Structure 1
Amino acid sequence: MSETTALRIGTGLDAVTVSGLTGDERAEVIESWARCGVEAVEPPTDADAHRDADTARPWLQWHEDLVFLATSRTIESARGTHLLFHAACLAAPDTGAAIVLVAASGTGKTTATRRLGPHFAYLTDETAIIDPDSLAVTPYPKPLSVLEARGVRPKTQRGPDDLGLGPTLPAARLARIAVLDRVRDPAGPVLPRAEAMELVAALKELVPQTSSLSRLPRGLVTLCRVLDAAGGAQRLVYAEAEDLRDVVADLLAAPPTPVTPAWEALTDEELRASAGAAGPGAGARCAVDDGILTDQGHLVLLAADRLVMLEGLGPAVWLLLDEPRTAADVVAHLRAEGAVPEDAEARVAAALAALAEHGLVDVML
C-alpha cells in the first residue's frame, strides 16, 4: 500500500518530488537521501517520479532511475550560472577547503569517495556545483550507487551515513581541482602522488567532464580563471583509492598558490563569424562560444561542448579570418608582418582545410 504523502528531495539548487511509495520504499528513500534534505509534502498533481503506476519496474531499478532523474535536475538547476564538474567532491572538515576529483563515468569517482569519504567531509560523488565567483560549493550529497557482490545492474543506492562518510558542510569552498588517474594492473608499486598539470593538458581532461560549459557566459575563460585560483589542476596518480588519503590531505592542508595566468581571452570580435560574403576559395570563420590563446601559442576554442586545440599556423589563420579570406589573402597579411616561407600558401591552405574538418571554417568552392 502506498503512502498518502509525497517526498521532496533537494537536488542542488532545486528539488524533485516522488510519490506513490510503499512504507518500506519511503523509509529507504528518507534514509539514503537524508543529507539532500528530504521532507514530506502533499502529493502534487504531477510528481516528478510516481511509483504506483510503475510497479512493473523492480525497486532497485526504479531507485537507480530516481538517482538519474535527481542528478539531471541538479545539473539543470545550475546550468548557465555555475561550473558543473562530473566529479566527486570532498572537503577538509575543519576548514571547508574542498577538492573536486574529476573522472569519467566508471573510472573511480564512487570508489574514491567510499575509500576517502570517511576521512573527509562528503559533498557529492557525482556532480560538483561551483560558484565561479565565490568558489562556494553547493552540496549534492546523494546516495552512492554501488555495484554489489552480484556484479550486475541495477546498482544499490547506499546513503553516506550508511557508508560512514564524513559530514556534509553547507559552506565549503573550492580549493583544489584534481583529475583521477588510476594505474590499473601495475607492474610494480605505484607511488600515490599529485602532479601539476599544464593548462592545455588540464583543459583536455576537464572540459569533457563538465556539463553545459558553453551555457556559462565565457565558460572557457571562467574555467581557466577558476583553475588559476585553485593553483592549477593536479593529476592524482594511484593504484588504490585509499592510497590517496595523505595526498588529498596535503593538498587541502594549505591554501593553494594562485597561478599567474598563462593565457589571454579572445575578444568578442575574435569569437564571431567572419563578416561579409565569402568569394570562391575563401575561408569564412564560424562563430564559437569561447576561446583563449596560451603563452605557448595554442589557440583553445569552445564550440558548443566541443573543445578544439589549434597550434602551428592554425591560431594565426583563425585570427586573420575576421572577414573571409583565401589562402593567398592570409599569406599577404602574414608577409606584411614578416618573412614567410616559399610554400606559405600551401601551408595556409592546409590549415584552412584542417579548420574546415573541425567545423570551424567554411571554405567556399
Structure 2
Amino acid sequence: MPDVELTFVTGEGPVPPGATVVAPSPTETYALSGAITRAVLTSLIGRRILLHAGTIDTPRLGVVVLVGPSGAGKSTATARLGAEGAYLSDELTIIDPDTFEVTGYPKPVSRSIPGSRAKRDVSLPSLHLMPACAGGSPDLIVLLHRDRGNGSENGPPGLERMPLASALLRLIGQTSSLNRVPGGLAALARVIDSAGGALRARYHEASELADLLDHAPAPISEWWAEVEACRPSHDVQPRDLMLAPFDQALALETGVLVLARREAGLLEGLLGVIWELLRVHGGLSLDLLQDLVAEEIGPHPDAARHVRSAADRLISGGWVIRA
C-alpha cells in the first residue's frame, strides 16, 4: 500500500495549510482516524477493490469479510469474531483485484457512544484484538442483516447463499469507485466465486454469528461473463436508440449487470435482450429493434408494445438514450 502523508495539529496556534486540527477527545480521535481513512481511500482509487467492510482472519473460518452499511453491526461483529484470530479492519477492506489478497488496515474499532449519534474509537488491546497487515483471499463473504427486534417479529437467525446478481448489487453499493478499477466488476465476481458465493446473515446479536458461520451452506457457483463495449455496426441515425455510456458490465444467468459510474443495475428479461442488441449493433430504430428481438426470442402478437415499453423503461433508467 502506498505511503500517505498527512499533517495533524493539536492545541492553539497557527494551522499549516492542509492540516487537520485534532482535539484530545474520543470524538476527535474518531475524526482523526476518519481523515486518515479518507486519505487511504483516495490513494487507492482505481487500484484496489475498496469495500465498506470489516475483515478478520481466524484459524477456524479463514479470512472473513463482513459487509454492511452503517448500523449493520460490522464493528461489533468484527471485534467479536476477531478475538480468536487476526484483525485486519473494522470498516475498510482492501482487496487486490488480481490476487484477491486482503491488505490489512487495522485502525481502532469505531463504536457508537451510548445515548449519542456520535462515534468514538476503541483501542485494539482493550478489545483483545491482534492487528494484522495482510491476509489471504476471502474465504467467507458475509452480508450482514441485523434484526433489532425480537425473533418472533423478524424470524430466527439464519445464513444462506445469495444469488450472484443479488450479491453483486449489494456489494457494489458498499464499494468505493469500483468503476475506476480496470475490470473491477469482473474481479469482484471472481472474488465472490472464490469464496463459494456470498452469504446473507440474518442475526440479532453478534454472539450468534460464530455458530452460523460454523455451519455455512455449501458453496455455489453461477455462470457469468465479462461484457465488452462494441462499436456500432452502421451509422447511427437521428432518433435511433443507443446505449448510454457505461463503465463495465457482466452477462449473468438472470440478465445483464451494468455499472455506470456509481450506479449499478440488473437488466433482466426483455430489458437485457434489448440492451445486448444495442451493444452489438449500435444505434437501432425502434422498428429494426423489434425485428431483431423477434429473431432473438421469437415472435409475439403484442411484440411492438412490449419492446416499446421496455425501451421506455431503459431510457427512463438512464441505460439507453436516443441519438
The reply to whether TM is greater than 0.5 is: yes
CA contact (8 A) 1:86 1:104 kept: yes
Paired residue for 2:261, among 287, 304, 310?
Answer: 304
> Which residue among 176, 182, 190 is the counterpart of 2:140?
176
In structure 2, the CA distance between the partners of 1:136 and 1:95, relative to structure 1 (3 Å rule), is farther
Q: 1:209 aligns with which of 169, 174, 181?
A: 174
- CA distance 1:74–1:305, change in 2 (3 Å): same
Kindly provide the CA deviation profile for residues 23-80 of structure 1, in whole angstroms up to 9, marking residues without a partner as x: xxxxxxxxxxxxxxxxxxxxxx9586443xx7xx673443222122111112122221
Task: Name the SS for the 2:134 alignment partner.
Answer: coil
Structure 2 counterparts to residues 275-294 of structure 1, below 5 A: 276-280=235-239, 282-294=240-252
TM-score (norm 1): 0.78
How far residue 340 of structure 1 moved from its aligned partner, in angstroms, is 1.1
**How far apart, in 2, do the equivalents of 1:249 and 1:142 lie?**
27
Identity %: 32
Q: Whole-Å Cα distance in 2 between the matches of residues 360 and 70 of structure 1?
A: 36
- Tell me the SS of whatever aligns to 2:294: helix
Q: 1:273·1:286 contact (CA, 8 Å) conserved in 2?
A: no
CA deviations 1:275-326 (Å, max 9, x no partner) are 643323x212112111112123x11111111111111211111122232212
More displaced stretch, 157-166 vs 300-309: 157-166
Partner of 1:356: 315
- Count of equivalent residues: 317
Give me the whole-angstrom Cα distance separating, in 1, the residues matched to 2:29 and 2:311: 50
Query: Does the Cα contact within 8 Å between 2:164 and 2:222 map onto a contact in 1?
Result: no
Change (3 A) 1:212 1:359: same
1:310, 1:86 → 2: CA distance?
25
Distance 1:242 1:338 in 2: 50
- Deviating above 4 A after TM superposition, structure 1's stretches of 4 or more consecutive aligned residues are 45-48, 272-275
TM-score by length of 2: 0.87
Correspondence for 1:64 among 30, 48, 52? 30
CA distance in 2, matches of 1:265, 1:278: 28
Deviations 1:187-217 (A, max 9, x none): 4396443211111111121110111110111
Supply the RMSD in Å over aligned alpha carbons. 2.7
1:267 is aligned to 228
Distance of 2:48 and 2:16 partners within structure 1: 28
Q: Secondary structure at the match of 1:268?
A: coil
- Is 2:284 aligned against 1:320? no
User: Match for 2:85 among 120, 129, 154?
Assistant: 120
User: Whole-Å Cα distance in 1 between the matches of residues 170 and 274 of structure 2?
Assistant: 26
Deviation at 1:127, TM superposition (A): 0.6
Letter matched to residue 341 of structure 1: H
Contact 1:273–1:284 under 8 Å retained in 2: no
Distance 1:169 1:96 in 2: 18
* 1:342 paired to 2:307: no
For 2:133 and 2:26, how far apart are their aligned partners in 1?
A: 29
For the 8 Å contact 1:135–1:173, the answer to whether it is kept is yes
- Asked whether the 8 Å contact 1:128–1:139 carries over to 2, the reply is yes
Structure 2: any 5+ residue segments left out of the alignment?
Answer: none
- 1:360 positional shift: 1.4
The amino acid that maps onto 1:185 is: G
d(CA) in 2 for partners of 1:230 and 1:193?
19
| 8 Å CA contact retained: 2:143, 2:198 | yes
Q: Which consecutive residues of structure 1, in runs of 5 or more, have no partner in the other structure?
A: 1-11, 23-44
Query: Secondary structure at 1:88's aligned position in 2?
Result: strand
